[in-house]
Structure 1
Amino acid sequence: MMPTVSDICTKEIVSINIKSTISDAIKLMTEKNVRSVLITEEDCKNYFIFTTNNAIEYKIKNLSLDTKLNELNLPKIQKIDANVSVLEITNKDDLISEYFIVLDQGKVVGILSQTDIINNIDPQMLLQKQTISSIMLQYTVQTVYENEATINAIKIMKNEDVDSVIIIDDERKPLGIFTTKDFLNIVSETADFTLPIKKYMSSPLETLPKDVKIYEALRFIRTKHFKRLIVTDENDKIAGVITQQELLRLINNKWMEVIRDRGLELSKINDELMKKTSLLEATASQDFLTKLYNRRKFDTLLQYEIEQINRYQGREMSMIIIDIDNFKSINDTYGHDVGDEILKELAEILTKLSRNSDVVSRWGGEEFALNLTHTAIEDALFVAEKLRATIERHTFSNNLKITCSFGVSQFRTTDKANDLFKRADKALYEAKNTGKNKVVLERL
């Protein structure tokens, strides 16, 4: 029988009132050895979560630890009935959310997280012949050299949207790991963030070989209470990272197989699970705010296009990097909600003025990237100028006018993906520093 949410949720809730400070929340998390606390309002209408990721964000922004929690833009937690089955909750559109508040007849009885789901899955349900390398994420692990300043590692975690970085020596051999939990421990002690990251890393680094079976990896993550697995190759070099999110997707696929075997009785749930799988795949490739491709998906498609160029010869490709001019002043003056609306409207403009074959993505913050296939740099210049003029004429939310700066580069046969980006980014930097609201071509 499929367990219910009430069966698997965490019932020992660590909570704090919304009128408390960031400092109070961090002290409580450190004292209770948890990565998140439930924030409650006095009328109990809404619930919020304060996590280690929030603590990192406010540290980078130099926000005072005396700031009240009710002054922060914390996300509300979705409420889930305690009697809902674990299978049903995987069909909800916001499974990507990390936490749910569990209610039984209106009373809070627990919090459900992805970790709770992981810890209550029988490993024998999963594939016992497939190795962990077959589901390993295909993107570069974020690494930091041992003598780099701690604040640099924290900024990488924030900018790359990861909850850990691997610490390496000069020979790129792994020495340890720095996670959001490590950050939480040191921020509560007001540590010196200019010191080398090796002072605060956790070591030795516990890893698994890429040929380990998936069910063994699940046992490992349950025993160690890790949020991620670090996977190594045959030379003991880091091969990649697998998060709990990836394991949940694997479990979801396995459940679909079980349901198909049970026949017509559960055909409706089976259809919903199919839709859920497609949604998860789309979500992994999509920027949450603008609905454009995210940076990881852009990198994947760019690498594919480069392989096609190298294979078939004669193709051309250009890249445009776009940055909103003076965007910080918009957020400071009108607030982040208005800033978010501008980002969404700009994403619509970029999409409407692009071809179906072009790849439009949000690169990060107020930066966007366009990969123009079968396009020489002269044509990319025309596209960039058209975009620049359209944006300048457009009236955005709150009756605001904005401008953007553009950097343009063209792929060369000796290029790697990063070379193409670096030249476009350098051209963008020149545009920003020579008056803004202009298009600058790469300099070879």
Structure 2
Amino acid sequence: MLFPQLEQLATPEVISLPETASVQSALKLMKEHNIRALVVLGSRGYRLLQAKDLVSFHLQGIDFSVPLAQVHLPKALQLSPQASVEEAIQLIGVNQVEQVCLVDEEEVLRGIVSYTDLVQSLDPELLAESQSLGELLRGVQVLQVNKEMPARVAFSLMQQQEVSTALISEEGVPLGIITQTDVIRLLDAGQDLARPIEEIMSSPVFTLAANISIQEALIAIKDKNFKRLVVVDESGRVVGLISQQDLVSIYYNQWFGLLKEKHEELSRRNQELQQQNQLLSLVLDEITHAVLVVETENRVLFSNQAAEQLLGYSRTALQQNTLNRILAGSAQSAVLNEFYERLKLGLKASLECNLLLTSGTSQPLQVKARPLLAGEAPLVLVAFSVLSEKTEMLAG
């Protein structure tokens, strides 16, 4: 599997505002476009305003009419549009954010990539993970609050625990959920955050059974286009939350692991082939006759020193050549065609020819060939002997 470059996954039309715009303008724009983060443009470079920042400003009592330049905003994570998915996963994971901006060499913003974009690019059929959701989430704590808790207190707890979601539950059974999207909606509507959380929570809650596989969870989260899903046990009690971030990390970590194994296996096999090739070259050099080993399309794979001396080619030049080119014009077309046809059929073949050498002289030669290995990539041993010599290497 080849992972796409980030520019192939990115949302090219980035929602942004200048730092001279107010926090309130940013809030309304985020609500209008149903987004949880917005890029702020200004003298400090690209900054990112997230839903959790709006909660923090509200809890601090910051007036939303102030310009964005006057509030603290983190610098947006940046990568090249040609960067790999692996780089984005690592950068987002280390910094615990959900977006990365794509900025070209001229510092122009070309797009933004979120976990939602990454999830939509995944193919569940390629995820060979049999672990269940319950096993994955074992021991993971979820922020759960009771339905009478004031919304302001619930938001404060989310801020303190640095989570983007709070579950409203009763005896472990999920009743509703509050996410960053809800926060934007409530702040934009000017809702009274002293109200009980049950009056403003999103309900009912879409849940997944703890015994389903991670592959099934990925299918569900793609189909529903949710940022996260609540996982429950057989009695309907909360086991945990599975997010897009969790699934993306599992998916790519598995593939990175498989690619690493394949790379190590390929390196090992290449090393074995190199050793075999060195051994074969040593054996061929001990043969006094000029010998070539050719493969598919008669391309020269190996040669010995005697062949190099007779034909006047270096070993590198021979391995960039084909038997067809070496023998071209050395015999009648009908004779050459019959020779090659027999080789294609896996039969022994021979011919006598007057070979034009690289020195400009011609040499009467006998050429004998016999199959070494059959199959999709057959190998053929070709031996050259000067006609004045009676020695024949490939008798019969």
Tell whether the structures are fold-level matches, with TM greater than 0.5: yes
Q: 1:172 to 1:101 in 2, by over 3 A?
A: closer
| Percent identical residues | 28
Tell me the distance in 2 between the aligned counterparts of 1:14 and 1:74: 16
Q: Structure 1: which 4+ aligned runs deviate by more than 6 Å? A: none
SS in 1 for 2:139: coil
Q: 1:264 to 1:173 in 2, by over 3 A?
A: closer
SS in 1 for 2:47: strand
Q: 1:53 to 1:88 in 2, by over 3 A?
A: closer
Contact 1:17/1:39 (8 A) holds in 2: yes
1:251 is aligned to 2:251: yes
Contact 1:137/1:241 (8 A) holds in 2: no
**Alpha-carbon distance, 1:94 to partner:** 4.3
Q: 1:131 to 1:34 in 2, by over 3 A?
A: same
* Worse-superposed segment, 153-162 or 256-265: 256-265
1:210 is aligned to 2:224: no
Q: 1:247 to 1:266 in 2, by over 3 A?
A: farther
Structure 1 residue identity aligned to 2:4: P
**Alpha-carbon distance, 1:26 to partner:** 0.3
Structure 2 residue identity aligned to 1:247: L
Per the alignment, residue 10 of structure 1 pairs with 11
Q: Deviations over 1:176-223 (max 9, x none)?
A: 111111111011111111111111110101010001111111121122
Per the alignment, residue 315 of structure 2 pairs with none
Contact 1:135/1:246 (8 A) holds in 2: no
Q: 1:233 to 1:159 in 2, by over 3 A?
A: same
**Alpha-carbon distance, 1:230 to partner:** 0.9
Per the alignment, residue 166 of structure 2 pairs with 165
The equivalences for 1:122-161 within 5 A come to: 122-136=123-137, 138-161=139-162
Q: Deviations over 1:155-190 (max 9, x none)?
A: 111111111111124x44321111111111011111
Structure 1 residue identity aligned to 2:110: V
SS in 1 for 2:79: strand
Q: 1:49 to 1:216 in 2, by over 3 A?
A: same
Structure 2 residue identity aligned to 1:239: V
Larger Rg: 2
Per the alignment, residue 278 of structure 2 pairs with none
**Alpha-carbon distance, 1:119 to partner:** 2.0
**Alpha-carbon distance, 1:57 to partner:** 0.7
Contact 2:89/2:249 (8 A) holds in 1: no
Q: 1:128 to 1:204 in 2, by over 3 A?
A: same
5+ residue gaps in structure 1?
A: 268-444
Contact 2:88/2:100 (8 A) holds in 1: no
The equivalences for 1:268-287 within 5 A come to: none
Per the alignment, residue 230 of structure 2 pairs with 230
Tell me the distance in 1 between the aligned counterparts of 2:240 and 2:89: 26
SS in 2 for 1:262: helix
Per the alignment, residue 326 of structure 1 pairs with none
Contact 1:259/1:266 (8 A) holds in 2: no
The equivalences for 1:330-341 within 5 A come to: none
Contact 2:165/2:177 (8 A) holds in 1: yes
**Alpha-carbon distance, 1:265 to partner:** 9.4
RMSD: 2.2
Per the alignment, residue 241 of structure 1 pairs with 241
Tell me the distance in 1 between the aligned counterparts of 2:71 and 2:212: 43
Q: 1:90 to 1:202 in 2, by over 3 A?
A: closer
Q: Deviations over 1:94-149 (max 9, x none)?
A: 46443221124433220112222222111122124221222115233211211221
Per the alignment, residue 115 of structure 1 pairs with 116
Per the alignment, residue 84 of structure 1 pairs with 83
Q: Deviations over 1:12-59 (max 9, x none)?
A: 211111111110100001111111111112x6x710111111111111
Per the alignment, residue 392 of structure 1 pairs with none
Per the alignment, residue 69 of structure 2 pairs with 70
With structure 2 as the length reference, what TM-score do the two structures score?
0.62
Q: 1:108 to 1:189 in 2, by over 3 A?
A: same
Tell me the distance in 2 between the aligned counterparts of 1:138 and 1:127: 23
* Worse-superposed segment, 67-76 or 242-251: 242-251
Q: 1:219 to 1:249 in 2, by over 3 A?
A: same
Equivalences, count: 264
Q: Deviations over 1:203-254 (max 9, x none)?
A: 1010100011111111211222222221100111111122333223312321
Tell me the distance in 2 between the aligned counterparts of 1:58 and 1:240: 28
Tell me the distance in 1 between the aligned counterparts of 2:88 and 2:52: 24
Tell me the distance in 1 between the aligned counterparts of 2:36 and 2:113: 14
Q: 1:154 to 1:266 in 2, by over 3 A?
A: farther
Tell me the distance in 1 between the aligned counterparts of 2:205 and 2:150: 20
Per the alignment, residue 180 of structure 2 pairs with 180
Contact 2:119/2:248 (8 A) holds in 1: yes
Q: 1:223 to 1:87 in 2, by over 3 A?
A: same
Per the alignment, residue 275 of structure 1 pairs with none
Per the alignment, residue 47 of structure 1 pairs with 46
Per the alignment, residue 25 of structure 2 pairs with 24
Contact 1:228/1:244 (8 A) holds in 2: yes
Q: Deviations over 1:380-424 (max 9, x none)?
A: xxxxxxxxxxxxxxxxxxxxxxxxxxxxxxxxxxxxxxxxxxxxx
Structure 2 residue identity aligned to 1:152: V
Structure 2 residue identity aligned to 1:22: V
Structure 2 residue identity aligned to 1:109: R
Q: Deviations over 1:415-436 (max 9, x none)?
A: xxxxxxxxxxxxxxxxxxxxxx
1:101 is aligned to 2:101: yes
Contact 2:151/2:196 (8 A) holds in 1: yes
Contact 1:230/1:241 (8 A) holds in 2: yes
